[in-house]
Each structure stands twice: as C-alpha cells, then as structure tokens.
Amino acid sequence: FAAMIFDFGFIHCDAHPGNLLVVHPPPGAPTSRTKLVLLDHGLYRELPEATREANCGLWRAMALQDAAGINRHCTEMGIDATTATVLPLYFTNRSAATRAGLGQPITASQKAELKELLARAGLLVEPRA
C-alpha cells in the first residue's frame, strides 16, 4: 500500500476500513506473510512526480516532527500555512512542536496546546453544556 503511494504515486481515493481486507495465511501455508488487499478499485489518481516527491517529504517531516519540512512540502503542494500547522494532528496526534515521540504519551499541557491550535484554526467545536 505504501509502495503504491510513495514509490509509484497512485492514490486509492476510497481507502476506508471497509475497502481494506487483511488476509492471514492458513496454518501450515508455505508463507507466513499477512497480506493487505485493497477492494473497490473504482477510483484512483496518479500524482504528478513533483507532488509524489512533496508528499513523501511531507510524511517524513511529520514523522520526524520537522516543522520547517512540513511547511515547505505543504507549500509545494499548494497547502496553506494554517492547514500545514494542523495537518500533523490528523496523522500523528501531535503538532510538529510536540517533543514527545510517536507512540509516546503527551502531557496535559501539550493536549491543551493542541486544543488551542485547533481552536485557532477554526477546527474545534466546543461541546454544548
């Protein structure tokens, strides 16, 4: 799946859990590799090479919490600065400024900072009392 996107530049435009199937090999099979099967092949898009490269850089920058890289690659893809700031939250549950590594817990103050970041971007709706 990653090779399809990052190496070849093809995006499956409907990759929700209902269109992903995990196939485990039967007991005693000659291979022990689990396979990911993509279903519903009705809509794909091929990324232009420059966009594929910027997308690869963006994901790398998000994983490394590299704010400058996130901004640079977002700009290359026409993504505005506000969206670039909050984009890592969708995929890593942290901003580029959060120093906790991926998979590590974040503090209550870091959670509050993320909430404020979402509020400034107009993406946080306060629950009704």
CA-based nearest residue to 114, from 74, 86, 92: 86
Out of 14, 40, 66, 80, pick the active-site residue: 14
Q: Which helix (H) or strand (E) holds 109?
A: helix 108-120
- Using CB atoms within 10 A of its CB, is residue 76 exposed (0-12), middle (13-18) or buried (19+)? middle
The yes-or-no answer on residue 14 being catalytic is: yes
Catalytic residue numbers read: 14
